[in-house]
């Protein structure tokens, strides 16, 4: 039987034609396609600015540099997330303060409240697996304590929180266009979105050697620019994003109806419209189930098998590590099943049949 991949890049003839036109244009870096893509991303997200960079990580590093984080500053972040969430905080000289997640796999606002201390400057909620974090509760805490909120939207392009796009709620947000994401550009890429003119201008300068004009450098910057060919592809893909996300939700609903009484399936909060970057189940027999599915040509993943507060790169930075019971227990139980915007319901049924045959 044909293999069922964990994810699949969206690619059609329109994307091929747009990429070819950009290739023939003779303009390859930060040209008209990039400018148009930035405006369309900002309009879609509901912010004044979108600033492209070479990855989510690069864009976020630049943003935190513009914000001038200092040594000793603390940023509250969930431990259960991709390690790149944490990297910009550390590289900016600040300290990540890890908190636990609730059963939506997003940071638990009660844990955030308990983690706020005299050195806390910000909170970085992650809309993990495409489900929005509880932004109302997090924003209220932040406003009460004078903190900024940066949304990690790397896995949630198009998700809604109480009718608002994620990425438009905090003071700024970051998106990833890595090939497995809901919105892709056929390679690495990312952007920050914000309504703050100063932050957007600062990131634009730093990504391009700290300059506003060709030979005048106002800052010491970097070469973390974006390219025209990927921008052209991204512009087409953005037009299909809502359609692909709607299909992801249909796939997720089919999974949940068939598997809901056999494994722990992803919850949906009443105020959330998730976009299911991943469809993650939990079972104590995770490793055996993954092997069973692999034998039947079905890809799976574990996102993520090592909690960030227990990563070797982190443990040496702390004299005492936090105890995060949900995160520490669930990393041994989570399993990502195949999902993407073009997955057929017949493929979903094949995965469900394989899961059911294993459990029964």
Specify the CATH number for the domain of residue 341: 3.90.1150.10
What local confidence, expressed as pLDDT, does residue 212 receive? Answer: 83
Q: Which residue matches tokens 């109806």?
A: 257
pLDDT, one tens digit per residue, over 303-355 is 999 999 999 999 988 888 899 999 999 999 999 999 999 999 999 999 999 99
Q: Which two tokens stand for residue 105?
A: 């796999």
What residue spans of 169-266 are helical by DSSP H?
Answer: 197-207, 228-259
Q: Are residues 318 and 336 in the same domain?
A: yes
Count of beta carbons in the 10 Å neighbourhood of residue 21: 13
Cβ neighbors of 244 (< 8 A, separation 6 or more) are 10, 182, 340, 341, 342
The answer to whether residue 3 is domain-embedded is: no
For 143, residues 6+ apart whose C-beta sits below 8 A from its C-beta are none
Note whether residue 5 is domain-resident: no
Q: Is the dihedral of CA 282, 286, 292, 298 positive or negative?
A: positive
| Residue 86 covered by a domain | yes
* Cα separation, 175 vs 336, whole angstroms: 21
Q: Please tell me the distance from the alpha carbon of residue 140 to that of residue 194, in angstroms, as a whole number.
A: 19
Is residue 2 in a domain? no
Mark whether 210 and 274 lie in a shared domain: no
- Whether the predicted pLDDT of 205 surpasses 90: yes
Asked, for residue 316, whether it belongs to a domain, the answer is yes
How much is the average pLDDT of 86-94? 96
User: Which domain does 93 fall in, by range?
Assistant: 13-235
Comparing CA positions, the residue from 85, 96, 36 lying closest to residue 238 is: 36
Coil/strand/helix, residue 43? helix
Domain boundary (235, 261, 287) is at 235
**206 and 229 co-located in one domain:** yes
Domain shared by 132 and 268, yes or no: no
Residue pLDDT, tens place only, 273-302 = 999 999 999 999 999 999 999 999 999 999
Do 64 and 141 have their domain in common? yes
Judge if 119 and 50 occupy the same domain.
yes
| pLDDT confidence bin for 150, thresholds 50/70/90 | very high
Q: What one-character DSSP code corresponds to residue 101?
A: B
Q: Looking at the structure, do residues 40 and 136 belong to the same domain, yes or no?
A: yes
Structural domain includes residue 330:
yes
**Residues 35 and 147 reside in one and the same domain:** yes
Residues 99 and 59 in one domain: yes
Q: In this structure, is residue 310 part of a structural domain?
A: yes
Same domain, 140 and 207: yes
Q: Which of 219, 235, 251 is at the close of a domain?
A: 235
Residues 191 and 299 in one domain: no
Are 321 and 206 found together in one domain? no
How many domains would you assign to the chain? 2
Nearest CA among 356, 247, 245, 351 for reference residue 299: 351
Q: At which of 218, 235, 252 does a domain end?
A: 235
- List the one residue out of 51, 135, 167, 152 whose CA is nearest residue 96: 152
What is the H or E stretch that residue 109 is in?
Answer: helix 109-115
Alpha helices in 260-296 (DSSP H): 286-295
- The CATH number linked to 111 is 3.40.640.10
Q: What's the confidence (pLDDT) of residue 317?
A: 86
pLDDT in the model for residue 318: 87
Instruction: Determine, yes or no, domain membership for 119.
Output: yes
Query: Which tokens go with 305?
Result: 């098998």
| Tokens read off for 156 | 């949630």
């Amino acid at each position: 039987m044909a293999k069922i991949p964990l994810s699949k890049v969206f690619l059609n003839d329109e994307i091929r034609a747009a990429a070819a036109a950009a290739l023939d244009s003779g303009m390859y870096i930060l040209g008209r396609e990039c400018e148009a893509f930035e405006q369309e991303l900002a309009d879609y997200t509901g912010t004044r600015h979108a600033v492209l960079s070479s990855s989510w990580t690069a864009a976020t590093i630049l943003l935190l540099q513009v914000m001038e984080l200092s040594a000793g500053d603390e940023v509250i972040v969930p431990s259960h997330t991709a390690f790149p969430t944490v990297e910009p905080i550390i590289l900016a000289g600040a300290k990540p303060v890890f908190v636990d997640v609730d059963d939506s796999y997003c940071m638990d606002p009660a844990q955030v409240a308990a983690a706020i201390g005299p050195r806390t400057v910000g909170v970085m909620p992650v809309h993990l697996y495409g489900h929005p974090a509880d932004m109302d509760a997090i924003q209220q805490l932040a406003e009460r304590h004078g903190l900024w909120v940066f949304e990690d939207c790397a896995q949630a392009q198009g998700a809604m929180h109480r009718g608002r796009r994620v990425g438009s709620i905090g003071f700024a947000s970051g998106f990833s266009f890595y090939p497995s994401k809901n919105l892709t550009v056929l390679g690495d890429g990312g952007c920050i979105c914000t309504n703050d003119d100063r932050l957007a201008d600062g990131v634009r300068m730093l990504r391009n050697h700290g300059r506003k004009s060709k030979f005048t450098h106002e800052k010491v910057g970097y070469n973390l620019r974006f390219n025209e060919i990927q921008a052209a592809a991204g512009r087409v893909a953005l037009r299909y994003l809502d359609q692909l996300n709607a299909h992801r939700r249909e796939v997720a609903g089919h999974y949940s109806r068939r598997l809901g009484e056999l494994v722990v399936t992803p919850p949906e909060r009443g105020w959330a419209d998730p976009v299911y970057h991943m469809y993650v189940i939990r079972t104590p027999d995770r490793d055996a189930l993954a092997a069973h599915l692999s034998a039947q040509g079905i890809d799976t993943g574990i996102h993520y098998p090592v909690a960030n507060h227990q990563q070797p790169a982190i443990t040496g930075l702390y004299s005492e590590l936090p105890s995060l019971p949900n995160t520490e227990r669930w990393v041994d139980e989570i399993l990502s099943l195949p999902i993407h915007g073009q997955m057929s319901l017949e493929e979903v049924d094949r995965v469900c049949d394989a899961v059911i045959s294993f459990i029964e």
